[in-house]
């Protein structure tokens, strides 16, 4: 097929921009491209950011965010949506409203709240909106440990406690949950835990000693890319975890601090 007649599936990221190119929309588009998926973006927030931290955040008017999302759905065959940083309750509600028109498109929800550098990426009062309006719409919810603790309102420990938390997270209404294990102390392993209505698994991998930035964004967009290519959620999550592991091994250091992961297959 020539380049002009080829129709790769499209995936849409609704997320924040990272001016440093390590996380957010920039990581998502690199990841989509690495999977052969056409990347669309609706920018929900802008950050002034480098590898050492976030220096400013700007949220666009919600009507403009809505215009971006609608423009993508008006022309492209959107096969999956990834949601990342949403910044405010108003933005969460605008995204939920826009997606009501597209009930069949799978959504990967990365409940971005705090950056690795410590910067706050979601207002405190937006947590309720996320629970009410977006979590029930998610096919795959991908919290890290601090995000899962905020969603459940309790601390989570390793082993059986994390397994209990996984079930409790799914009870919030998402069709499936991938609880990322990077922040848990489980020896020299990282254990990512997945559950949906019929499948439960724990994925174990040796811990890589990398002060990485953008790994969560890369994982959720890799899962969205795999869903856009036709995988079911459990398969997409396993493939996404393997992808992040590979790109972390090949990570590079473009600025003075945290490394970025490189989008490639």
Residues that bind ligand PLP in the complex, under the rule CB under 6 A: 15-16, 18, 23-24, 47, 49, 84-85, 112, 115-117, 121, 213-217
CB of 250 to ligand PLP, least distance (A): 17
- Alpha carbons 265 and 227: distance in angstroms, whole number: 16
CB of 54 to ligand PLP, least distance (A): 7
Sign of the CA dihedral with 255 first, then 20, 208, and 33 last: negative
Residue appearing with tokens 């009501």? 100
Which residue's CB is nearer to ligand PLP, number 31 or number 47?
A: 47
CB of 110 to ligand PLP, least distance (A): 6
Contact partners, residue 200, CB within 8 Å, separation at least 6: 166, 193, 194
CA distances from 48 to 24, 42, 59, 253 (A): 12, 17, 12, 18
Which residue's CB is nearer to ligand PLP, number 78 or number 109?
A: 109
Which residue's CB is nearer to ligand PLP, number 8 or number 53?
A: 53
CB of 33 to ligand PLP, least distance (A): 18
Which residue's CB is nearer to ligand PLP, number 103 or number 140?
A: 140
In sequence order, the β-bridge partners of residue 58 are 46
């Amino acid at each position: 097929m020539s380049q002009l007649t080829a129709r790769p599936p499209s995936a849409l990221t609704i997320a924040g921009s990272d001016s440093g190119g390590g996380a957010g929309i920039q990581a998502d588009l690199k990841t989509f491209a690495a999977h052969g998926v056409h990347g669309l973006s609706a920018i929900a927030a802008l950050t002034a950011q480098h590898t050492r931290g976030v220096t400013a955040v700007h949220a666009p008017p919600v009507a403009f965010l809505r215009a971006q999302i609608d423009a993508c759905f008006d022309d492209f065959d959107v096969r999956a949506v990834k949601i990342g940083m949403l910044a405010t309750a108003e933005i969460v509600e605008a995204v939920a409203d826009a997606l009501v028109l597209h009930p069949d498109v799978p959504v990967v929800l990365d409940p971005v709240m705090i950056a690795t550098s410590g910067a706050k990426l979601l207002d405190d009062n937006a947590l309720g909106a996320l629970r009410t309006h977006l979590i029930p719409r998610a096919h795959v919810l991908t919290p890290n440990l601090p995000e899962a603790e905020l969603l459940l309102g309790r601390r989570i420990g390793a082993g059986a406690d994390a397994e209990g938390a996984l079930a409790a997270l799914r009870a919030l209404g998402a069709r499936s949950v991938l609880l990322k294990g990077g922040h848990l102390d489980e020896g020299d392993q990282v254990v990512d835990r997945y559950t949906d209505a019929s499948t439960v698994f724990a994925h174990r991998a040796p811990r890589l000693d990398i002060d990485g930035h953008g790994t969560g964004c890369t994982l959720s967009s890799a899962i969205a890319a795999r869903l856009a290519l036709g995988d079911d959620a459990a398969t997409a999550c396993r493939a996404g975890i393997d992808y992040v592991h590979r790109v972390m091994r090949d990570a590079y250091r473009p600025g003075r601090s945290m490394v970025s992961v490189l989008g490639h297959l």
